[in-house]
Amino acid sequence: MEFKFYPFGSLGSYKYADIAAVHDGKWIFCKHKERGTWEMAGGHIEDGETPLDAAKRELFEETGAVCFDIEPLCDYWVEGELGGVHGTAQGQVFFAKVYALGEIPSESEMEKVALFDEFPENLTYPELVDGIFLTVKDKKR
């Protein structure tokens, strides 16, 4: 997949919302039930949702975050295999400071959540995470 990054709010027609999140000075990553890789919380923006609404929902559904502050970070454009079909889409990235983690909801796609000092190496979308890291690395603490 190829990702290009832009200032927040510059693209429009967003399909995805992704969240770089920290808790107690550590990065939060989730492991999907069907993949052996780590990923940031995020996913599709549902009908009637804003990207911010989707980011808040995904952060809770995928990490169990129950108390957090969230702020805009950047936009991205992606090209590659999306759901088995080659295509392009746009997304927005948010940064969240999580103050309290609860249980992952039972209907979540994620099987577990872990905290990392640095980004893990076994990533689902390394190009996305690498690009976001350049923007968020100083926000961790």
HSE of 115 in the Cβ direction (CA atoms, 13 Å)?
A: 12
Least confident piece of the model among 12-16, 36-40, 78-82: 78-82
Residue 25 has pLDDT above 70, yes or no: yes
Is there a contact between 43 and 58 (Cβ–Cβ < 8 Å)? yes
Q: Which residues, at least 6 apart from 47, have a Cβ–Cβ distance to it below 8 Å?
A: none
CATH of residue 86's domain is 3.90.79.10
Number of domains the chain is built from:
1
- Chain segment 73-117, per-residue pLDDT in tens: 999 998 887 667 788 999 999 999 999 999 998 889 899 999 999
- 4/66 Cα distance (integer angstroms): 31
In this predicted structure, what is the pLDDT of residue 67? 97
In this predicted structure, what is the pLDDT of residue 133? 76
Confidence at 47, pLDDT banded by 50, 70, 90: very high
Q: How would DSSP label each residue in 93-123?
A: EEEEEEEEE-PPPTT-SEEEEEEESS--SSB
In this predicted structure, what is the pLDDT of residue 121? 84
Is there a contact between 26 and 42 (Cβ–Cβ < 8 Å)? no
Around Cβ 140, how many Cβ atoms within 10 Å? 15
Residue range 9-20: average pLDDT? Answer: 94
Q: What residue numbers bound the domain in which 51 lies?
A: 2-139
In this predicted structure, what is the pLDDT of residue 140? 52
In this predicted structure, what is the pLDDT of residue 138? 60
